[in-house]
Structure 1
């Protein structure tokens, strides 16, 4: 992290353009770097380069794509501590969490390397009537073309990886806009990609303004837009025209603790603490709503509150820190205001601390009103809401009483309840025996309702970035 000036990457090459984008240490507030900031002209040039590289990327052999991805894996391993420190500084992510994200970055590229040589098709039996005797069919998947990617601040490495690695595996050139608050991780990935022999124009990584990024949604030369972030994604979809769109837009994830939780209560508490407060709650699948059977409510509330009070907040570089800063002071003020409003509406604060700038201590509330922002919207911070239920079906209905539906967790020892949750919960994924914050990088990941459209996870992303092409042969 000694470097103070960072280029962006346009058509595979570093460009030291106007370095107007300042990156600050989210804990100290100190300016740590300046990054090249792309304008509308650079965005247009990147789209043109990606569009022009379609044929070269499609012809780039699968084993060569695998070699590129394997090179990235090796280089990320070699630079793992540098990547973790960059995350710690630019995102305020506690260093232990940052190292975990670097591991996931490596895993995602490794999975993509494996999948790059497994993109197949099928043989079709076409002789379904006398008219079609003597015909046979085959399908294969081909790259969709140039892709545009827009990623948020909270996972500056892994959410970039879940777009970039599948694109390379699929043979798609791309233009990436990383979050302006956290561009360094993406630019390090660009630096590593620039070491490879990807075809000219295969990638561009351009921090830029939201206004100039409009072309990434609107330009007809782009075949697919993949966006991770807030509800503005629906507006981007409306402006995207005929291109394919995938959206991951967050949620207010719920976790049910059944009458028979299937785990010791102490283990449930440990996992709830992780799920709700990991990386200061700034995760799309952070545990925000906890529904506990009345038999366990008081005991769990007492144990959970005690565990939350012990969480160390402070400098994310400190190995003992669990709660670091949220991304900026505006976010901290918003979350703090939602907590105040919930308490004014009748909620009880079991744990609550005082905000200092963008440092917001972990909070735990009980009996938050159903219409409160803290229940209805995505908090995206270190706060969870606890409530009791008497009937499992009622708990399922309460989980579904949300505009979002990304993932849900269910602690239950009943296989019948586990299957009922899978059948009835209106979410993209149900995690039984753990919190909804659990994710493995080779599984399908995405939501329903306001939470998004489509699925990530390397194999599923490759499917979206390719199209089926049919061959019919007549004997």
Structure 2
């Protein structure tokens, strides 16, 4: 299956192609075009030239495009999920859940397209403001370059494309190299949905060619990126004055206070730690458990983890499958070995079987080890004992990241204290840090990013505020 670039409403061949392989079966599944610099420029120019047509659409018309896209996703829900599982090895049950979230995200975008507005400014509150009428408008920012990751190849794209369309912007999308099929599928659906020619473009290829061209172009008004802190910081440094929205890494922590109901918590922790092989920005990576319940928690967590079904991502019963690449598999195994050699207690997992890293639990991993202080992006979770919640908060905060954190406690005062002291973008009370619904403001502090996603909040990022003042004298 030889794919083509989508530029200015046309499917365009490339001079060079790269083979795309299934992470699980290692079978070739497609040939992916590698855009040249000239083709990236063509996509940018197409988006730049389509700005006026896109901006002139009414809120109703933009919402209609998104509503039609929602209907098409509903009709092709199973096909969409199969594409995700094929190219990323995400188990089918989780791919179906991602498609359902994608539908919801575009639905929110359609609704928010009709709610973009400014506000009245009380000009006469100032000494020199008498007889003046002031208000603000929200206008499209222009060309949005969206650079997206492999782990949610439809929903994280939706969090950039949906609000961009809702706000009246044009888009050049560079999907992750391992998951371009989802982006090409989206292009087909948007074409059918009636998006203006040139308003949406997909270019695949190397970050050095495609990514750098997008970041450096004077015709791009905003870069929105989800990925590693190292790449995100590089984009920020190159982007000049254009707006840059970054959603970056995490090693999300959870605190378990004494006397909480473990039977309710364990299933949440298993999902939080191991769904999509731990390849989730807010995957549960570090658990800090009150010393009084540590042994019981570890025993129950181990038992539940070992019941997970390992295997083919296309099987509806599979819970956990292959990591995205052999390189990531080898890295994750090396990090586990380091933790065990440095005194960590391997409770379960730690082995590779049939190209799959088994879900891994490590107790007493020191804070300086890679499994603790870096982002594992693999089915690995660490558990450490704490004397009280204050100690747990200190451990969670002892990180270069700050995306989301969670705490389970029966004490309302403890919960309030944690919500104030945890230095993260989002605190989940009596829930895992992996919890997310798509309209909430999602983002982090420190090296976890500089913006908030969630349709209303992204639209604010993707619009410019204009002030209008009328002198009525």
1:24-173 matched pairs, under 5 angstroms: 24-173=21-170
Deviation of the 1:351 alpha carbon = 0.5
CA–CA distance in structure 1, aligned partners of residues 126 and 233 of structure 2: 45
Secondary structure at 2:424 match in 1: coil
1:371-390 matched pairs, under 5 angstroms: 371-390=368-387
Please say if residues 141 and 462 of structure 2, whose CA atoms lie closer than 8 Å, have aligned partners that are also in contact. Answer: yes
CA–CA distance in structure 1, aligned partners of residues 226 and 312 of structure 2: 27
Secondary structure at 2:356 match in 1: coil
- Of 19-28 and 372-381, deviating more is 19-28
Deviation of the 1:198 alpha carbon = 2.4
Deviation of the 1:404 alpha carbon = 0.4
**Number of the residue aligned with 2:361:** 364
Give the count of matched residue pairs.
470
**Number of the residue aligned with 1:464:** 461
Please say if residues 367 and 387 of structure 1, whose CA atoms lie closer than 8 Å, have aligned partners that are also in contact. Answer: yes
**Number of the residue aligned with 1:303:** 300
1:304-343 matched pairs, under 5 angstroms: 304-343=301-340
1:192-207 matched pairs, under 5 angstroms: 192-207=189-204
Deviation of the 1:312 alpha carbon = 1.4
**Number of the residue aligned with 1:275:** 272
Please say if residues 138 and 471 of structure 1, whose CA atoms lie closer than 8 Å, have aligned partners that are also in contact. Answer: yes
Once the two structures are superposed, what CA deviation does each residue of 1:235-293 show, in whole Å capped at 9, x if it has no partner? Answer: 111000000101111200001111143xx211111110010001110001000000001
CA–CA distance in structure 1, aligned partners of residues 310 and 219 of structure 2: 47
Once the two structures are superposed, what CA deviation does each residue of 1:305-332 show, in whole Å capped at 9, x if it has no partner? Answer: 1111111111111222111100011101
**Number of the residue aligned with 2:207:** 210
Please say if residues 10 and 205 of structure 1, whose CA atoms lie closer than 8 Å, have aligned partners that are also in contact. Answer: yes
CA–CA distance in structure 1, aligned partners of residues 319 and 312 of structure 2: 9
Please say if residues 14 and 36 of structure 2, whose CA atoms lie closer than 8 Å, have aligned partners that are also in contact. Answer: no
**Number of the residue aligned with 2:471:** 474
Residue 259 of structure 1 pairs with residue 297 of structure 2: no
Secondary structure at 1:255 match in 2: strand
Please say if residues 333 and 350 of structure 2, whose CA atoms lie closer than 8 Å, have aligned partners that are also in contact. Answer: no
Deviation of the 1:121 alpha carbon = 0.9
CA–CA distance in structure 1, aligned partners of residues 130 and 453 of structure 2: 40
Deviation of the 1:130 alpha carbon = 4.7
Please say if residues 273 and 283 of structure 2, whose CA atoms lie closer than 8 Å, have aligned partners that are also in contact. Answer: yes
Deviation of the 1:195 alpha carbon = 1.6
Please say if residues 13 and 194 of structure 1, whose CA atoms lie closer than 8 Å, have aligned partners that are also in contact. Answer: no
CA–CA distance in structure 1, aligned partners of residues 194 and 448 of structure 2: 37
Give the direction of change, closer, same or farther, for the CA distance of 1:92–1:130 in structure 2 (3 Å limit): closer
Deviation of the 1:436 alpha carbon = 0.7
**Number of the residue aligned with 2:12:** 15
Give the direction of change, closer, same or farther, for the CA distance of 1:130–1:336 in structure 2 (3 Å limit): closer
Please say if residues 336 and 350 of structure 2, whose CA atoms lie closer than 8 Å, have aligned partners that are also in contact. Answer: no
Scaled by the length of structure 1, the TM-score of the pair is: 0.97
Scaled by the length of structure 2, the TM-score of the pair is: 0.97
**Number of the residue aligned with 1:240:** 239
**Number of the residue aligned with 1:450:** 447
**Number of the residue aligned with 1:436:** 433
- Of 347-356 and 290-299, deviating more is 347-356
Secondary structure at 2:352 match in 1: coil
Deviation of the 1:407 alpha carbon = 0.4
Structure 1 gap segments, 5+ residues each: none
Please say if residues 250 and 402 of structure 2, whose CA atoms lie closer than 8 Å, have aligned partners that are also in contact. Answer: yes
- Of 77-86 and 354-363, deviating more is 354-363
**Number of the residue aligned with 1:422:** 419
Please say if residues 81 and 99 of structure 2, whose CA atoms lie closer than 8 Å, have aligned partners that are also in contact. Answer: yes
Please say if residues 362 and 383 of structure 1, whose CA atoms lie closer than 8 Å, have aligned partners that are also in contact. Answer: yes
**How much is the aligned-residue C-alpha RMSD, in angstroms?**
1.2
Structure 2 gap segments, 5+ residues each: none
CA–CA distance in structure 2, aligned partners of residues 103 and 411 of structure 1: 28
CA–CA distance in structure 1, aligned partners of residues 20 and 29 of structure 2: 6
Deviation of the 1:23 alpha carbon = 1.9
**Number of the residue aligned with 1:221:** 219
CA–CA distance in structure 1, aligned partners of residues 214 and 293 of structure 2: 50
Deviation of the 1:357 alpha carbon = 6.3
- Of 317-326 and 124-133, deviating more is 124-133
